[in-house]
């Protein structure tokens, strides 16, 4: 992994490295990992489908409107993934459900970043008692299984989509703080930081301008895989009835609602499950690909 | 040439490590006069860089200054807080780092780093938030880009504009070293610490860098602490050479004289170790720098010294004056005082 990074560096020096050249080289490195390319294509397709959900979905009104004459139809050419207990087209609900899962996954990750990143930076840069306080708090947080913690908070706040987002972000910040702190601890020791300090850079300057941007490179990889994990957690809460409430078409909620009709009527639960599976997998392989492209060491 | 600018007295630095307490710097004392260039010479691991870093207050966190005084213009640096240090760094005391390629932030262009440095140098108390909100304005107001370009041209970097827009990995080691010199000089310091500049470069570039540095030192009348393991380089650039061994100063004299007639057995060994074209066999000093956890009692060189006597293993020799400005810490010359 490190070798690729160095190879990239030397190459850049030789070519002089225009931005287009850079980009082409990055794409070349990313392209070497075929699985990551497939994942990326899948993700791009998902984002496009999410944006144009109402245009793409065969029955756009099916997200909420019931049609009891067509209830529990098995997959056919008319309803590719069948219909659910209220006669709604499952495929349309999954497509429109992507509008919940994908954006809210971003919200979850951004929120936990907003808390975890500054705390990790402070802990790593200033050390001492503050570091101890923040990190021990994080340790306590992490000691509680994340799903159970999120479940408890979601149950406490009352089941709704927003509350489940808050619950998950609330549980995830220590991981971000830990990650950033560990990066900060070794970037702080880099020669360029010492060099900057020796000509008068303040601690805050070092933290914001040098340490944080350099920590961000490996952080991007973590964020990517975290997005997949956020989708999974969000769906879990929905599945257990503590997340988005019906009739909101959220993947976990759809799968949860179909649970009572298993195993004969399998299509209501299976297809949202497949959607979750593919999305999480796509985020993970793309994360792996980015790891190679950015030259981040395996963690 | 008379005013003393820096005075280091009986400096002691210890490291708390797993194996125990390492007494790395053990009583280093020297003085630096205005416009004087001194060279700290010694092999790797003898505490040269550490001494220099203590003058800038950038010691690694495990290191502790357990004794001594560092006076800069009659101000004891060891009593400074972080704010006080920052007022000195860059503007009074600056450092040219050892390895230029890893001493520049890889994610910022050379220009960005220079401009931030020059903008912030004169206003250390500005909040970083308001600085970044007005960064381009401040740069325009103060004409920093042009100043930074001139700075780079001053260290013979051409074309300066292209270097300004380059990332550190896009320029060569020699160019990066020049950038580092420009950065160190940008705050008009009076004292420059040069930590083996050019060591990571090939001999030709190293010569060019040393010439450049020499020129800048004379031009600006800087006082310099030059760190090197190369006696030849030290002689070229310094007025006075301090030979360091295992955290102590072994010998100090004017550069030309110490080169001609070194007295301390370690200095003699160092001089002999300089490779010449005529010698077919390299001569070294047998053994290695001792462990700092459990250093030899008495003179720290006694394990490698061919002349080691009884007393060398018992009492640490003091640095004594043996002639015109010539100081040696060795019992062989104890009787020759004056």
Query: Coil, strand, or helix at residue B23?
Result: strand
Contact with chain A for residue B108, Cβ under 8 A: yes
Q: Give the pair of three-digit tokens for residue A100.
A: 């919940």
Which residues are within 8 A (CB) of A3 and not within 5 positions of it... i.e. 6 or more apart? none
Query: What is the average pLDDT across B261-273?
Result: 87
pLDDT tens for A11-59 read 444 445 567 777 888 888 888 888 999 999 999 999 999 999 888 888 8
pLDDT over threshold 50, residue A121: yes
Chain A CB contacts of B94 under 8 Å are 198-199
pLDDT tens for B83-110 read 888 888 988 999 998 888 889 998 899 9
Q: Do the strands B240-245 and B248-254 form a parallel or antiparallel pair, or are they unpaired?
A: antiparallel
pLDDT of residue B335: 57
CATH number assigned to the domain comprising residue A83: 1.10.3720.10
Q: Within a domain: residue A18?
A: no
Whole-angstrom CA distances from B235 to A56, B34, B229 are 79, 19, 11
Band (pLDDT 50/70/90 cuts) for residue A117 is very high
CB atoms within 10 A of CB A53: 19
Secondary structure in 3-state letters for chain A:
CHHHHHHHHHHHHHHCCCHHHHHHHHHHHHHCCHHHHHHHHHHHHHHHHHHCHHHHCCCHHHHCCCCHHHCCCCCCCCCCCCECCCCCEHHHHHHHHHHHHHHHHHHHHHHHHHHHHHHHHHHHHHCHHHHHHHHHHHHHHHHCCHHHHHHHHHHHHCCCHHHHHHHHHHHHHHHHHHHHHHHHHHHCCCHHHHHHHHCCCCHHHHHHHHHHHHHHHHHHHHHHHHHHHHHHHHHHHHHCCCCCCCCCCCHHHHHHHHHHHCCCCCHHHHHHHHHHHHHHHHHHHHHHHHHHHHCCCCC
Q: Within a domain: residue A156?
A: yes
pLDDT tens for B54-64 read 999 888 888 88
Which residues are within 8 A (CB) of B221 and not within 5 positions of it... i.e. 6 or more apart? B34, B35
Contact with chain B for residue A13, Cβ under 8 A: yes
Task: Please state the domain count of chain A.
Answer: 1
Measure CB to CB from residue A191 to each of B89, B99, B128 and give the nearest one. Answer: B99
Q: Within a domain: residue A14?
A: no
Q: Which domains does chain B have, with CATH numbers?
A: 4-92+189-296 (3.40.50.300)
pLDDT of residue A298: 54
pLDDT of residue A73: 83
Contact with chain B for residue A209, Cβ under 8 A: yes
Q: Give the pair of three-digit tokens for residue B90.
A: 């860059």
Q: Within a domain: residue A221?
A: yes
Instruction: Give the residue among A97, A173, B254, A168 at the shortest CA–CA distance from A89.
Output: A97
Q: Within a domain: residue A184?
A: yes
Query: What is the average pLDDT across A231-251?
Result: 89
Chain B CB contacts of A195 under 8 Å are 95, 97, 103-104, 180, 183
Instruction: Give the residue among B255, B249, B263 at the shortest CA–CA distance from B224.
Output: B255
- Give kind and range of the element (H or E) at residue B303: none
Contact with chain A for residue B7, Cβ under 8 A: no
Q: Would you give the DSSP letter of residue B89?
A: B
- Give kind and range of the element (H or E) at residue B87: helix B82-88
Q: Within a domain: residue A1?
A: no
Give chain A's length: 299
Contact with chain B for residue A202, Cβ under 8 A: yes
Band (pLDDT 50/70/90 cuts) for residue B279 is low
Contact with chain A for residue B170, Cβ under 8 A: yes
Q: Give the pair of three-digit tokens for residue B193.
A: 């610490």
pLDDT tens for B12-30 read 999 988 888 888 998 899 9
Question: Does residue B240 contact residue B38 with C-beta atoms inside 8 Å?
Answer: yes
pTM of the model: 0.80
What's chain A's average pLDDT?
87
Q: Do the strands B223-228 and B37-41 form a parallel or antiparallel pair, or are they unpaired?
A: parallel
Question: Does residue A161 contact residue A250 with C-beta atoms inside 8 Å?
Answer: yes
Least confident of A77-86, A166-175, B111-120: A77-86
CB atoms within 10 A of CB A68: 9
Contact with chain A for residue B173, Cβ under 8 A: no
Place of tokens 């170790």: B273
Band (pLDDT 50/70/90 cuts) for residue B336 is low
ipTM of the complex: 0.78
pLDDT over threshold 60, residue B47: yes
Residue predicted with more confidence, A78 or A140? A140
pLDDT over threshold 60, residue A261: yes
pLDDT of residue B138: 86
pLDDT of residue B121: 84
Cβ separation A199–B107 shorter than 8 A: no
Residue predicted with more confidence, B172 or B274? B172
pLDDT winner (highest mean) among A67-76, B51-60, B127-136, B271-280:
B51-60
Give chain B's length: 338
pLDDT tens for B156-203 read 888 888 899 988 988 888 899 999 999 999 989 999 999 888 777 888
List the domain range (segments joined by +) for residue A86. 33-294
Cβ separation A205–B121 shorter than 8 A: no
Cβ separation A192–B58 shorter than 8 A: no
Place of tokens 């070194």: B262
pLDDT of residue A18: 67
pLDDT of residue B338: 41
Instruction: Give the residue among A231, A220, A219, A143 at the shortest CA–CA distance from A181.
Output: A219
Query: What is the average pLDDT across B309-329?
Result: 87
What percent of chain A has pLDDT above 90? 51
CB atoms within 10 A of CB A41: 12
pLDDT of residue B226: 94
Instruction: Give the residue among A130, A102, A100 at the shortest CA–CA distance from A118.
Output: A130
Which residues are within 8 A (CB) of A225 and not within 5 positions of it... i.e. 6 or more apart? A283, A284, A287
Chain B CB contacts of A16 under 8 Å are 170
Greatest pairwise CA separation for chain A in angstroms: 77
Place of tokens 């860098």: B209
Q: Within a domain: residue A26?
A: no
pLDDT over threshold 70, residue A5: no
A191 CA to chain B: closest CA distance, Å?
Answer: 5
Query: What is the average pLDDT across B142-149?
Result: 90
Query: Coil, strand, or helix at residue B75?
Result: strand
Q: Within a domain: residue A153?
A: yes
pLDDT of residue A15: 44
pLDDT of residue A270: 93
pLDDT of residue A6: 47
């Amino acid at each position: 992994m490190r070798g690729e990074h160095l190879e990239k560096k030397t190459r850049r020096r030789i070519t002089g490295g225009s931005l287009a050249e850079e980009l082409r080289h990055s794409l070349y490195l990313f392209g070497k990992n075929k699985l990551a390319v497939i994942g990326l294509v899948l993700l791009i397709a998902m984002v496009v489908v999410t944006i144009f959900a109402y245009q793409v979905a065969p029955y756009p009104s099916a997200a909420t409107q019931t049609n009891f004459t067509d209830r529990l139809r098995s997959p056919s050419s008319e309803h590719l993934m069948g219909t659910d207990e209220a006669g709604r087209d499952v495929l349309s609900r999954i497509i429109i459900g992507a509008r919940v899962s994908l954006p809210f996954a971003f919200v979850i990750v951004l929120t936990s970043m907003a808390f975890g990143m500054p705390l990790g930076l402070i802990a790593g840069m200033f050390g001492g008692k503050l570091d101890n306080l923040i990190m021990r708090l994080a340790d306590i947080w992490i000691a509680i299984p994340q799903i159970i913690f999120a479940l408890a908070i979601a149950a406490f706040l009352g089941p709704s989509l927003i509350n489940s987002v808050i619950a998950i972000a609330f549980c995830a910040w220590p991981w971000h703080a830990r990650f950033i702190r560990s990066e900060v601890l070794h970037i702080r020791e880099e020669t360029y930081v010492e060099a900057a300090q020796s000509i008068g850079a303040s601690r805050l300057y070092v933290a914001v301008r040098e340490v944080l941007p350099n920590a961000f490179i490996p952080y991007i990889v973590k964020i990517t895989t975290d997005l997949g994990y956020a989708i999974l957690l969000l769906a879990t809460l929905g599945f257990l009835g503590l997340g988005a409430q019906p009739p909101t078409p959220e993947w976990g909620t759809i799968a949860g609602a179909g649970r009572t009709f298993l195993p004969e009527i399998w299509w209501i639960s299976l297809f949202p499950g497949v959607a979750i599976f593919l999305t999480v997998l796509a985020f993970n392989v793309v994360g792996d690909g980015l790891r190679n492209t950015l030259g981040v060491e395996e963690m | 040439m008379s005013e003393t600018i820096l005075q280091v007295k009986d400096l002691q630095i210890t490291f708390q490590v797993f194996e125990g307490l390492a007494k790395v710097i053990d009583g280093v004392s020297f003085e630096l006069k205005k416009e004087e260039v001194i060279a700290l010479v010694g092999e790797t691991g003898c505490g040269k860089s550490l001494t220099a870093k203590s003058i800038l207050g950038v010691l690694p966190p495990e290191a502790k200054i357990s004794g001594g005084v560092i006076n800069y213009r009659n101000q004891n640096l060891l009593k400074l807080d972080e704010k006080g240090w920052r007022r000195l760094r860059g503007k009074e005391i600056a450092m040219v780092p050892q390895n230029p390629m890893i001493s520049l932030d890889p994610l910022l262009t050379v220009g960005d780093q220079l401009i931030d440095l020059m903008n912030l140098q004169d206003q250390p108390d500005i909040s970083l938030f308001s600085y970044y909100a007005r960064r381009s304005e401040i740069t325009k107001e103060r004409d920093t880009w042009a100043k930074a370009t001139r700075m780079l041209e001053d260290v013979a970097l051409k074309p300066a504009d292209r270097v300004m827009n380059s990332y550190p990995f896009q320029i060569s080691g020699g160019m990066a070293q020049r950038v580092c010199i420009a950065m160190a000089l940008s705050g008009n310091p009076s004292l420059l610490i040069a930590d083996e500049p050019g060591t990571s470069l090939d001999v030709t570039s190293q010569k060019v860098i040393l010439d450049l540095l020499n020129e800048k030192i004379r031009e600006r009348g800087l006082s310099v602490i030059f760190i090197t393991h190369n006696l030849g380089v030290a002689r070229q650039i310094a007025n006075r050479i301090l030979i360091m061994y295992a955290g102590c100063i072994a010998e100090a004299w004017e550069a030309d004289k110490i080169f001609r007639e070194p007295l301390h057995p370690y200095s003699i060994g160092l001089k002999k170790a300089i490779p010449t074209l005529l010698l077919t066999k390299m001569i070294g000093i047998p053994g290695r720098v001792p462990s700092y956890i459990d250093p030899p009692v008495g003179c720290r060189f006694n394990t490698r010294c061919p002349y080691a006597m009884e007393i060398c293993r018992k009492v640490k020799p003091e640095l004594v004056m043996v002639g015109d400005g010539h100081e040696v810490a060795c019992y062989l010359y104890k009787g020759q005082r004056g």
